[in-house]
Every structure is written in structure tokens, then in C-alpha cells.
Amino acid sequence: MKNVEAKVGFLVVASAVILCITVYYVSNAQWGEQQLPYKTYLRYAGGLEAGTQVLFGGMSVGKVTALRPDPADPTRIEISLVVRRGTPVNSKSVAKLESTSLMSSPAISITTGSNEAPRLPAGAAIPSQEPITMDEMERKVAALADSAQVTLASVRIDVDKLTGNAQNLLTNLNSLTGNANQKHVAAILSNADTMVAQVSAKIGPTVDNLNTTLANANATISNANGTISDLREPMHADLIELHRTLEETHDLVGNFHSLLRANEQNISDTLENIRMATDNLNDLSQSVKERPWSLVRIRQPKGREVPQGQIK
């Protein structure tokens, strides 16, 4: 009885182990078929490790599988990762190291890229963007603080100069508004009034002469306008006649052009006939030069034959 129970217990345990192994391999096989491998490269991979989350547009689509120095360039880190099949990773997508919050662990975030860009095949390298490390941020903050101190020192110097100039200006204004300067300014204004009165007395006759000159100029311009008005009508009539003549000439040229277009074939045939007649006349003239007897005889005479009896 105990042997039977032992055998049954062993069979149950073996079946459970086989079932677990089968489920494990089947799930791994199905999960592997549903994931695509990719690579990306970064010079700083702080906090990354195998199993780190991979995001696409903020969605969790996979995980990091391995990290190692790039064999071709040891100054950067080769990051192997897998993403869920169907994730539209394209050539415009960019992988970068970032955290979703201040307290969360770092993750690989892949941007959505462009819908028009071609999809990256499995095993391809995703373009990357280097993160800003804390050291770089501290260096930039320190450089900004140094620059701010220099700027504040320069502003302080400029403010001191401006304050000194303002004090000098106030001193000059005080000296200008003193009693002595006020009397001097009053004397200058009095002299200016006297000068203006004298200039006004002298300008009066000059203004009268200028008015007379303007009146004469207006009369001259009026006469010129009358002369131009007298010449305008004949010139206008001549221009109208010239325009009408040009229009008639244009119509005549157009009719002549239309006539040439309409009789183009006939003119070409006539010219061809004239050319052929000219060639025939040339042939006739050449023939008369070579055979003038053809004008009298219709047929060319036969050549004279040598008597047979005289040939020895």
C-alpha cells in the first residue's frame, strides 16, 4: 500500500514539474515571439540595468536586456532592449535616458518620431540623445552664477557713474539758476527783443518787393498757361489723327498677314512652278549651247559610216 502511495505521489510531483516547465517554455516562447530587439547607444547610462523599463511615447512597451561598452567605441554604452511587437519605432524616433518623476528610477524613453518616417527593422539601432548629467548641470549653474556676479559688478559700477553724473547735473543746474545767471539771461532776452524789432523793420520792404515779384511771376505763369492752352487743341487733334492712322496701318498689316496665311500654299506652289520653269529654261539654254542644230532638226543625224571596201 505504501509503495502504491509513493508511486502515486511521485507521479503527481513529476506531472506538476512537467506542467510548470511546459508553461514556462511556452510563455517564454510566446513572449519572445511578441517582442522585437533593438539597440541604442549613450555615453552616460546612470542607473540603467537589465530589466529597466522602456517607454514609447510614455507607454511601457518593453525592457532593457543587457548593457555593455560598445566594442567599436568604448567611450559609449551599448544598450540592448526589446519592445512589444507592433510598436511603431521609426527612423525619426529618439531614445534618451530620463525619469518619469523625481523619485522614480531612470528609464529608456523613445519618442514617437514621425508617421511618414520608415519603421526600423528588428535589430536596428535607434538614434539617441545624450542626457544632461548632474555634473554638467552643476557646471552650468556655477558658470551662470559667475556670469551673474560679473554682471552685477558691472551694473554697480554703471550705477555709481550714473549717480555721479546726476550729482554734477544738479550742481550745474543750481549754478545756472543763480541770481547772476538770471540777470544775464534777462539781458540776453532784452537784446534779442531789440534785434527782432530791428529785423522786422528791415524785413517789411523786402517782403513788399517779394510780393511784387510773386505777382509778376503769377502773371508770367498765367500767360504761359494761356499759350499752352492755345497749342493744346491742335496738338491733341494731330495726336488723334496719328493714332487713327496707326490703327488703320495696323489693320492693313493684319489683313495682309491674313491674306498671306490664307494663300501660303498657293504662293508656295507658284514659287515651286517658277523654280521648275527656271530649271527647264536653264536646261533648254544648256541644250541649245551644246546642240544648236536641235533648233532646226528634230532628230540628230546619224554618224557617217566608213566604207567597208576601203578598209584593209
Tens digit of pLDDT at every position of the chain (312 positions): 556 666 667 677 777 778 767 655 555 544 445 899 999 999 988 888 999 999 999 899 999 999 999 999 999 999 999 999 999 999 999 999 888 776 778 899 999 999 999 999 999 999 999 887 666 666 777 777 777 777 877 777 777 777 777 777 777 766 666 676 667 767 777 777 777 777 677 666 777 777 787 788 777 777 777 777 776 777 777 788 888 888 888 888 888 778 777 777 777 777 787 888 787 877 777 777 777 666 665 555 555 565 665 554
Which three cell numbers mark 19? 506542467
Q: How many CB atoms lie within 10 A of CB 130?
A: 13
With beta carbons less than 8 A apart as the criterion, state whether 110 and 55 touch. Answer: yes
Among 12, 89, 83, 79, residue whose Cα is nearest residue 48:
79
162 is written with which cell numbers? Answer: 550714473
- How far is it, in rounded angstroms, from Cα 4 to Cα 12? 12
Give yes or no for a contact between 46 and 106, defined as CB atoms under 8 angstroms apart: yes
Please give the DSSP secondary-structure letter assigned to residue 115: S
Q: How far does CA 68 lie from the centroid of its chain?
A: 43
Q: Find out whether 294 and 288 touch, Cβ atoms under 8 Å.
A: yes
The strand pair at 77-84 and 53-56 is best described as unpaired
pLDDT value at position 32?
47
**Residues composing the chain:** 312
CATH number for the segment(s) 34-131: 2.40.30
Instruction: State the Cα–Cα distance between residues 191 and 65, nearest whole angstrom.
Output: 99
64 near 113, Cβ under 8 Å? no
- Spell out the domain ranges in the chain: 34-131
Residue 213 corresponds to which cell in the numbers above? Answer: 515779384
| SS3 category, 55 | strand
d(CA 209, CA 201): 14
* Residues paired with residue 56 on neighbouring β-strands, in sequence order: 59, 110
- pLDDT at residue 83 in the model: 95
C-alpha cell at 284: 533648254
Question: Helices 264-290 and 179-262 meet at what angle, rounded to 10?
Answer: 60
Q: What angle do CA 72, 74, 77 make, to 5 degrees?
A: 100
Q: Would you state the pLDDT for residue 42?
A: 93
Task: Give me 67's grid cell.
Answer: 548593457
DSSP string, 97-114: EE-SSSSSPPEEEE----
Helix (H, G, I), strand (E, B) or coil at 49: coil
Compute CA distances 279 → 275, 284, 290, whole Å.
Answer: 6, 9, 16
In this structure, what are the phi and psi dihedrals at residue 95, rounded to the nearest 5 degrees? -95, 135
The 3-class SS string of 74-94 reads: CCCEEEEEEEECCCCCECCCC
pTM above 0.75, yes or no: no
Distance CA 239, CA 231 (A): 12
